[in-house]
Structure formats: C-alpha cells, structure tokens
Amino acid sequence: MRVGVVVFPGSNCDRDALHAARLAGADAQLLWHAEPDLHGAEAVILPGGFAHGDYLRAGAIARFSPIMGVVREHAARGGLVLGICNGFQVLTEAGLLPGVLRRNTTLRFEHGWVRLSVERRDTPFTRGVPEGTTLRLPIAHGEGSYYLPDVQLDALEAAGQVLFRYAPPEGNPNGSLRDIAGVVDDGGRVCGLMPHPERASEQILGSDDGMLLLRSLVESAAWHEALVG
C-alpha cells in the first residue's frame, strides 16, 4: 500500500509523516510539490510546516502548487487525503475541506499536548480507534482556530463531518468554534486536523496514539485498493 507525503517548500513535518506512515506498514515516499504526479500513491498526506512561507495566509499559495491538481483528482476519485496542521490549512484554502483556520484567539503560537475526542469511528481515518478512546497528541500552530459561519457549522455537525474535538483536561487551545480540531469532507475521504499524529508515533515520543489514525489510514487505503483496484 503506497502513501505519498507531499513536500512543499517550507514543509517541515514531511520526514516525520514519512516515518510514521512506514511504521504503519505503508510503502511511503515523498512527493515534490512541483511535480503533478502521485506516483501511484493510494493515500496522500499533506504534512505540517509553513508551505511557501505561509505568506498571504497559511495554505493560500500552496493551494496553487502543481501537485494540488492531482491531489484534487485523487480526492474526486474517492482517494484518501490526510492534511495535518499546515496540510489542513492547505486543504481548507483549496476548498477540499470546509472552513478556515484563523489566528489563535489566544494571540500566541500554541504548542503542547492536547486530548481529542473522536466523534466518529466509521471513517477511514478512525476505524482502528477503540471505542471510548481519547487521543493524546501534540499541537504546534499559530493559526489553528477553526471557523465557519454558524449556519454552515450547524450543517457540518448535522452531516457528521466534525471528526475530532479538543477535550478536557487541556481543552480547546486556540479558540476553535465548537472545539473543532479536525473535520472530514462530505464524502468522508478527505480529512484535516491541527494536532500532529505523526509526532505521536512511538511511546518514546510521549504517546503513540497517532498510530491509531495512521494505521487506520493505511489499512483503509489497502482495503479500498483491493476493492476497486
């Protein structure tokens, strides 16, 4: 099962994502943003960092990188896409996920450990998470405050597209509306979250909860491949 990790100029979690995807059993490789080719990847990860320097707005310029055209086609075919932190910002700017990630309301770059409740376990990203589990993952971002106008938020909730919420004891670190930490698209095949599962891939890092998500992704992609070829 092949996973492609996109490298934008300014990505800085690409190697961590590559490592975690390989730990999860994937044949993972890096994909340079300027080349519009997924090299057969069945799942694509947009990693954390500061793509194109985060100039203008986080993700605003990365959206126009040549690889994003094939990522969009991949998603339209039902292919899996996971955006982590800056990758989440890129997906919202690209219109592949709803909403926008604004500057933290705390006026600070926020980093540290958070807890996440998993709102749905029937998605390709969470199918391996045991029932009742809250995830312990690290965050590191200045612009992670999830926003959508109220009416659209209600629709998002009703459609079951809120996948992760910040949970006690640490709670909401950035002012995200309704404690939203991660969402999926309406087809459930594109996911973005601000916390970093790839940085919680081994116990020695303080938590390996991130592997629950990465293993789910790899297993789902393998399953999808077996089903549709």
Partner 1 sequence: MARFRFGVSVMPRDGILDPQGRAVEAALPQLGADSVHDVRVGRRVELNVEATEEAHARALVERLAAELLANPLVERWHIERLEAGP
User: Active-site positions?
Assistant: 85, 196, 198
- d(CA 68, CA 54) in angstroms, rounded, equals 16
3-state helix, strand, coil in the chain (%, to 5): 30, 30, 40
Residues in the chain: 229
Nearer to partner 1, 131 or 150 (CB): 150
Amino acid at 109: F
CB of 225 to partner 1, least distance (A): 34
Binding flag, residue 148, partner 1 (CB under 8 A): yes
Residues 82-111 vs partner 1: string with x where CB under 8 A?
-----------x-----xx-xxxxxx----
Binding flag, residue 53, partner 1 (CB under 8 A): no
The CB-side HSE value for 39 (13 A sphere, CA atoms) comes to 14
Binding flag, residue 60, partner 1 (CB under 8 A): yes
Nearer to partner 1, 93 or 198 (CB): 93
Residue with token string 């086609």: 73
Neighbours of 55 (CB within 10 A): 12
Binding flag, residue 149, partner 1 (CB under 8 A): yes
Residues lying near partner 1 in the complex (CB under 8 A) are found at: 56-57, 60-61, 64, 93, 99-100, 102-107, 147-149, 175
